[in-house]
Structure 1
């Protein structure tokens, strides 16, 4: 399961050399992650309504080549794990050439909003949403 977004790099995301500041890559990951979560109808508002928060507990970014002002990028988010955590892999490509520019991943865990306790397995609501999405797309 994956989702993609196209982003035009704005001036406020770059440094004096017109290269994207390293911290903004996580923002681009987040934009693609929300698109992925929307695909199976379990984005942050649905998470909250189901009684769970899903904080990011780990992130990693490998900067392959700098991204520049006004460059169009394609960010792909790929769901890799979901049974005990959400592990999402990200690939950033130049939208025109297809050249890979960056890769990384984030991990999120379910936390009960009521008790503030971390869950050691994903709650049934996530698995239900994923199964519903898989069933719908299999038809």
Structure 2
């Protein structure tokens, strides 16, 4: 499958009152890794914006496994899990040694025709072909 990684050093503003990474920041890390994945595919948000399709997130899951703290280097990997009927992207965020995950999850995006607002139950052919060319 196709994957991409986003690196992030935990800063003070990432922390909550308990001095661990605030849970909402993992969604931001997922987004940054997803954007890196879309860059690899050659279909990131600027290309989506000029296409006839919108790609809203219709489902999301985040599982917190262990806390991350100030100064740790995090690597969030986004991997394309499904692409024919929807885009399912799986995520794993690992700290420092990249061995132990601190967070995992997935997002699901569905194609919506820009002009009609109709959700499609199949990924447009041009994107399927682009993904298959990378596999």
TM-score after normalising by structure 1: 0.91
Q: Which residue of 1 aligns with 2:58?
A: 57
1:43-82 matched pairs, under 5 angstroms: 43-82=44-83
Aligned equivalents of 1:11, 1:108: Cα separation in 2: 31
Q: Would the alpha carbon gap of residues 81 and 97 (structure 1) be closer, same or farther in structure 2, given more than 3 Å must change?
A: closer
Report if the CA contact (8 A) 2:93-2:101 is conserved.
yes
Report if the CA contact (8 A) 1:50-1:125 is conserved.
no
| Count of aligned pairs | 134
1:1-139 matched pairs, under 5 angstroms: 1-96=2-97, 98-134=99-135
Q: Gaps spanning 5+ residues in structure 1: where?
A: 135-139
Q: Which 10-residue stretch deviates more, 56-65 or 3-12?
A: 3-12
Q: Could you tell me how far 1:17 is from its partner in structure 2?
A: 2.1
Q: Which 10-residue stretch deviates more, 43-52 or 78-87?
A: 43-52
Q: Could you tell me how far 1:90 is from its partner in structure 2?
A: 0.4
Q: Could you tell me how far 1:97 is from its partner in structure 2?
A: 5.1
SS at match of 2:68: coil
Aligned equivalents of 1:40, 1:76: Cα separation in 2: 15
Runs of 4+ in structure 1 over 4 Å off: none
